[in-house]
Amino acid sequence: MRSDILTQEGEVSPREKPDTARERNIDTSTFDFERLDRVPKSQLRALHLVHENFVRSVASSLSAYLRSNFVLNLVSLEQISYSEFVDKLESPTCLAYIGMQPHEGIALLELNMGLMFALIELLLGSKGQAAVAPQRKITDIEKSLVQTLLKLVLRDLSEAWKSVADLSFSLKGLESEPQVLHVMAPTEAVIEIDIEVKVEGTSGLMHLAIPSIFIKRLRTKFDLMRQVRRKSREADQLHIAHLLQPAELLFEAWIDGGRISTQDLINLKIDDVLVLDNPDSDAIRGSLNGRCVWSGSMTTTESRLGFQILDTQRDASGV
């Protein structure tokens, strides 16, 4: 169908077609609605700090509770989709779904079978060195034992998060097959935190997944956390300086002398005088805890020897 336009001159002209994006030289690209909405790097750095504190805390708690030496290391922290996280997990495994009160949503914590059975061995009084982890689902009794440990871990996780917000991570249940746990959409973004756990010759990974949308809701909390840290830096320095003031340090003044024989050294008696090769004009080294820090000269004050600082210097170690 043709559509015409009546001009002011009374002439009839065909209606012009609207310009397309290509004719107007506009760069167009396909938008993927399933792509991850990225968490800002500043928040990822703050999350890294929070979970470094968590790793140190839970290592201490597990060592005290199980009377074994636990070593935990934060391996990685990255944003991936929920489907990618699930695909990484073994089957069967020990997967806990965790509440994050007072906020809605579910976080996930996974222990691989080798690590989980080693922890169960420790709980039962063994040394935690199982020969080979059995490839089976955990029993109800084993679930009860694991829940005791997970509650301890989540308590430390809640404490670590208090620097950001007042949260309470609580255990909601355990699952052995990750593929049947549909707590999030496959394309939903999560923050995956991988932690290596070493104990009694056994090592394994603990995977923690927190919904990215939950992290974004706390963006103002993370911003406030950075502001508080900047404001308190000077106060922290003054506080640390105040705590260090009573500390005692070893100060020594060194004079470069000459050499004497062992016989002369043995024959030294009270009131003997040693003639040194160091001229009065040469500086004397002042050391602090064995490291040369100052150069100066000897003085007398009220019949007591003193060391007058003339300059600062560095020793061979660069201090």
**pLDDT tens digits, one per residue of 276-287:** 776 766 778 888
**What are the extents of the domains in the chain?**
41-235, 251-312
pLDDT for res 131:
52
User: d(Cα 112, Cα 133) in Å, to the nearest integer?
Assistant: 10
Architecture field, domain 41-235:
3-Layer(aba) Sandwich (3.40)
Residue 229 confidence (pLDDT) above 70? no
- Tokens representing 111? 């222990």
pLDDT band at 319 (very low <50, low <70, confident <90, very high): very low
| Strongest mean pLDDT among 4-13, 111-120, 250-259, 304-313 | 111-120
pLDDT band at 318 (very low <50, low <70, confident <90, very high): very low
Residue 71 confidence (pLDDT) above 50? yes
- What single string gives the DSSP state of each residue in 143-172? HHHHHHHHHHHHHHHHHHHTTT---EEEEE
Which of 177, 169, 97, 172 shows the shortest CA–CA distance to 137? 177
Which residue has better confidence, 247 or 99? 99
**Spacing of C-alpha 204 from chain mean position:** 19
Q: What percent of the chain clears pLDDT 70, i.e. is strictly above it?
A: 78
Residue 226 confidence (pLDDT) above 60? no
Architecture field, domain 251-312:
Roll (2.30)
Please name the amino acid found at residue 232.
S
pLDDT band at 27 (very low <50, low <70, confident <90, very high): low
Q: Which of 146-150, 233-237, 249-253 has the lowest mean pLDDT?
A: 233-237
pLDDT for res 303:
76
- Tokens representing 176? 């052995």
- What single string gives the DSSP state of each residue in 55-110? HHHHHHHHHHHHTS-EEEEEEEEEEEEHHHHHHHS-SS-EEEEEEEETEEEEEEEE
Residue 246 confidence (pLDDT) above 80? yes
Residue 208 confidence (pLDDT) above 70? yes
pLDDT for res 317:
45
Which residue has better confidence, 130 or 190? 190
3-state class (DSSP) for residue 292: strand
pLDDT for res 85:
92
- 167 Ramachandran zone, left/alpha/beta (phi>0; psi -120 to 50): beta
Residue 6 confidence (pLDDT) above 80? no
**pLDDT tens digits, one per residue of 102-161:** 888 889 999 888 888 888 888 888 775 555 666 778 888 888 889 999 999 999 999 998
Which of 105, 68, 95 shows the shortest CA–CA distance to 205? 95
Cis amide leading into 40 (omega within 30)? no
